[in-house]
A and B are shown apart, each in its own frame.
Chain A
Amino acid sequence: MLNVTLKQLGLELAQKKISSVELTQLHLDRIARIDPVLNAFITIDRERSLAQARAADALIAAGKAQPLTGIPIAHKDIFCAKGWLTTCGSKMLANFVSPYDAHVVERFNACGAVVLGKTNMDEFAMGSSSETSFRGPVRNPWDPARVPGGSSGGSAVAVAARMAPAAIGTDTGGSIRQPAALSGICGIKPTYGVVSRYGMIAFASSLDQGGPMAKCAEDLALMLNVMAGFDARDSTSLARAAEDYARALDAPLHGLRIGVPQEYFGAGLDADVAVAVEAALTQIEKLGARRVAISLPNSGLSVPAYYVIAPAEASSNLSRFDGVRYGYRAPQYTDLVDMYCKSRAQGFGAEVKRRILIGTYVLSHGYYDAYYLKAQKIRRLIAQDFAKAFEQCDLIMGPTAPSVAFALGAKATDPVQMYLNDIYTVAANLAGLPAMSIPCGFGEGGMPVGLHVVGNYFTEARMLNAAHQYQRATDWHTRAPRESV
């Protein structure tokens, strides 16, 4: 039951082979057993989850089931969920119980899915290792001495260790895809604007996008069907006709042009990752796709541009955490300014403070043009690179991350090394393009490797189709870590 697809789970529920309460219980028990080591969850609320499961069972009994009714889903702790502690991995919000539901949470609730719990993450989604949470680091189930990637590491591990059938995450520079790759699961960041950001605690508004994390491409499609859609409460939400992201899963890949950027296979890429990705590309060619060499000449500028734009927006987005209305307030202070300083100094962790400082700096008078405006120009160049590339190909493929999961603490003291983990993923956020990661083999230490797929705007169905066809021909995505953890 822990290894089946969402579609299969839906059938089992419909056929009453298992109830939602039993399924939820099963996962809650597993969490209770193995999560003390993995630390993938910040909040579990058995009663709340089981109440939802009972309601789902009633819907199923009444013949009112929709896809995902009764299926437990783990929510990254960045999504506000009414009545749930919503901490965003920060001491700053350690006591914040959300009075409202995010759009995405509303959507899952409306279709009768069960909130299984809130998952651990890098503080305010700032990180690539899930080590910066106020609740301690998340561990990789393939090797608990290693990180699972981040920032949606808790969600990735919940799925990888089979503690949740599926999860949701957010991706600002790779925060869905990189942990999916490092933990051996699938994750997709849709086109910017496809999933409403309402109720998703903002890190960098122009880059943030929510998306599903699951065991296979087909599951991602079913999840995205629920998550996507226009929401008037988010001005950047796109008003488009609803689409079925699973509609093209079974299409053959004949004639599909796969662009392979030379820039993604140069220095900095570990050999074991390169071998696994190369093998995956060969496999996809065997399925009928054609490989095209392409170039994304400004790739090298994407990390620097990202680390100007994202902190700039974050420095402003995080100003609301001031100790005045909710969240952490220092116990002792002398006056207003002291209250601000102490509350923020004590409430935020080191990485968040670093990014607030960088962001404040690049927006400051006299530096704005040199940093922020220049980064915005680079952003346009990067989008143009992709536009040109998509004249030659339908999808772009390469490695998701330059290495397999690294050891806990290995990069914690070197932010630049940590930031370079995002080298292949941030460009899609800067351009607003949909991008996903799927498992494509194992590298050093038996750790999973992810294949990165970038599509043109609104081609999620095509991307999921390619991934699904690949997964029909391979079994990397069915491999789970040993039970021993």
Chain B
Amino acid sequence: MNGKHDLQWETVIGLETHAQLSTLSKIFSGAPTQFGAAPNVQACAVDIALPGVLPVLNKAAVEKAIRFGLAVNGKIAPRSVFARKNYFYPDLPKGYQISQYELPIVQGGSLVVDLTDREKTVHLTRAHLEEDAGKSLHEDFHGMSGIDLNRAGTPLLEIVTEPDMRSAAEAVAYAKTLHALVRWIGICDGNMQEGSFRCDANVSVRRVGAELGTRCEIKNLNSFRFLEDAINYEVRRQIELLEDGGKVVQETRLYDPDRKETRSMRSKEDAHDYRYFPDPDLLPLEVGDKWIEEIKSGLTELPRAKRARYVRDYQLSNYDAGVLTSSREVADFYENLIQALGGGYKLASSWIAGELFGALRRAGMEISQSPISSGQLAGLLQQIQNNAINGKQAKEVFDAMWNGEGEAAAIIAAKGLTQISDAGELEQVIDAVLAANPKSAEEYRAGKERAFNALVGQAMKATRGKGNPAQINEILKKKLRR
């Protein structure tokens, strides 16, 4: 987007996100929801819509929806209604999707999102429960289509925002925050490749201060990168269209990640009349205060609250606290670590964000797969706190632990890595270093700071890396006092 556009045009974005709720069975049947099974083996009579079968609501899906509503400070509707959305498609076995229309289970709510320079509150319109459709497979059927109904009836929470976002970056920041939240509260595994978390973006542009422009909906964006690229493309397309005197047509568009462009799927004129009406097979969903209270009391500390507490109580930087609260697993790892250490907030933080994350990234692992447990890492950090080893040695121990060579203490003993903190011993070493490097000592006294570092390096080398660097620093400074 060029600068001229930025000044004249404002982008308006609202997102609809489908989060697959991580229940064991489907929203209206007892069939399992696992991903990746052979086609149609996880579709029962209800899922394939045999004549005479009826839906029965899965309470676990409702519980997860309520948990979400509470986490975003939304209103939990005491009475919500399931409706039928009628349309024909081969992967929609009943010829209608059961969804919530006029009365959704979660109404309102908001999410605070961190942008690079500020915070932004994105308001939610609603979140409602619905069932997923199956999948049509168009390859390998010799010109025919295959239908896999394993996914049919999988519970979804559709989370709808107000048109609050003003750029692709804001939309992505919101989507990432939402993604972290649904995983944090344990309602969705967030696996975007498997389709567990996918976004539709409603995009429009307007002259700054003008009324809302005509919007286009871009469907099924299943990565943050696609979301960003699709919105940016769409904004550019709409602005160019309008600047050339054209009009934006309200329509549904698909994003093609290979060509990095959106293209029309169907216009408003071709839009389905879904003939929504309350599903007579399901009674209105009544949610009592008692149930809400029960769910509320089971809700864990949310990421923003935890982050604020880390800054306040542990004196971490806002950035570091943010890193540690990026997922529930990371926060749990951190809290287990500092509990084992009985403190060491900053040390623990820097080791997780530094060494551990680095190693995980190189190995392509999640923290839950880490070969080093929080307890093992605590064993290592204790050695640092006790001055038994220095930082360089600790990294060596860390690598050994990563490779499964055992606990920190055992590795230190096996490698003979004990740190030299004996002042007398270190003084002897330093005297020898100064005697051997008179030129460096001279330069330092003349004001060259780098000469000091060279001397520290020599002293470390003389101790074969075992010297306590802080002590060496101190002794050297004393001896070289200008």
Contact = CB atoms under 8 A, between A and B. Distances in A.
Contacts of A200: 52
Given A319-B86, A319-B94, A235 B45 contact: no
Nearest to B89: A336
A76 interface: no
Nearest to B145: A336
A264 B388 CA distance: 99
A319 B96 contact: yes
A477 to B, nearest CB: 32
Interface in B146-170: 147
A198 B86 contact: no
B277 A199 contact: no
A235 B54 CA distance: 8
B280 A100 contact: no
Nearest to A365: B273
A326 interface: yes
Contacts of B56: 232-235
Contact of B54 (A93, A197, A312, A363): A197
Interface centre among B55, B88, B147, B280 (most CB of A within 10 A): B280
A360 B277 CA distance: 11
Interface string B280-324: 111100000000000000000000000000000000000000000
**Interface size range on A against B:** 35 or more
A198 B90 contact: no
Given A319-B95, A320-B49, A325-B49, A360 B54 contact: no
Interface centre among B45, B50, B51, B277 (most CB of A within 10 A): B51
Given A235-B56, A236-B281, A320 B51 contact: yes
Interface string A51-92: 000000000000000000000000000011000001010000
B48 interface: yes
Contacts of B49: 320, 325
B84 interface: yes
Given A100-B45, A322-B95, A316 B86 contact: yes
B212 interface: no
A88 B90 CA distance: 23
Given A320-B95, A365-B273, A235 B48 contact: no
Contact of A99 (B45, B86, B147, B275): B45
B190 to A, nearest CB: 31
B52 A199 contact: yes
Interface in B26-62: 45, 48-57
Contacts, number: 97
A201 B277 contact: no
Nearest to A319: B95
B104 interface: no
Contacts of B88: 319, 322, 340
Contacts of A312: 277
A234 B56 CA distance: 7
B281 A326 contact: no
A102 B52 contact: yes
A96 interface: yes
A206 interface: yes
A200 B54 CA distance: 10
Given A88-B51, A99-B45, A235 B57 contact: yes
A197 B51 CA distance: 11
- Majority SS at the chain B contact face: loop
Interface in A127-151: none
B74 interface: no
A363 B52 contact: no
A93 B145 CA distance: 23
B93 interface: yes
A316 B45 contact: no
A364 interface: yes
Contacts of B277: 312, 316, 363, 368, 372
Contact of A236 (B45, B273, B276, B283): B283
A201 B51 contact: yes
A292 to B, nearest CB: 34
A463 interface: no
A313 interface: yes
- Majority SS at the chain A contact face: loop
B51 A86 contact: yes
A302 B136 CA distance: 43
A40 B230 CA distance: 62
Given A205-B280, A232-B56, A235-B55, A363 B48 contact: no
Interface string B115-127: 0000000000000
Contacts of B45: 99-100
B281 A198 contact: no
Nearest to A327: B51
A435 B45 CA distance: 32
Nearest to A339: B90
Contacts of A88: 51
Nearest to B49: A320
Nearest to A231: B54
Given A100-B45, A325-B93, A80 B147 contact: no
Contacts of A235: 54-57, 281-283
A322 B90 CA distance: 8
Interface string A320-359: 1110111000000000100010000000000000000000
A202 interface: yes
A318 B88 CA distance: 11
B94 A320 contact: yes
B280 to A, nearest CB: 4
B94 A363 contact: no
A319 to B, nearest CB: 2
A364 B93 contact: no
Contacts of B95: 316, 318-320, 322
23 contacts: A86-B51, A93-B51, A98-B50, A102-B52, A197-B54, A198-B53, A202-B51, A204-B280, A234-B56, A235-B57, A235-B282, A316-B86, A319-B94, A319-B95, A320-B95, A322-B95, A324-B90, A325-B48, A336-B90, A360-B275, A363-B86, A363-B276, A365-B273
Given A199-B53, A325-B147, 14 more contacts: A80-B50, A102-B52, A202-B52, A202-B281, A312-B277, A316-B96, A319-B86, A319-B96, A320-B51, A320-B94, A322-B90, A325-B48, A325-B93, A368-B277
Q: Which 6 A-B pairs have the closest CB atoms?
A: A319-B95, A206-B280, A363-B275, A205-B280, A199-B52, A320-B49
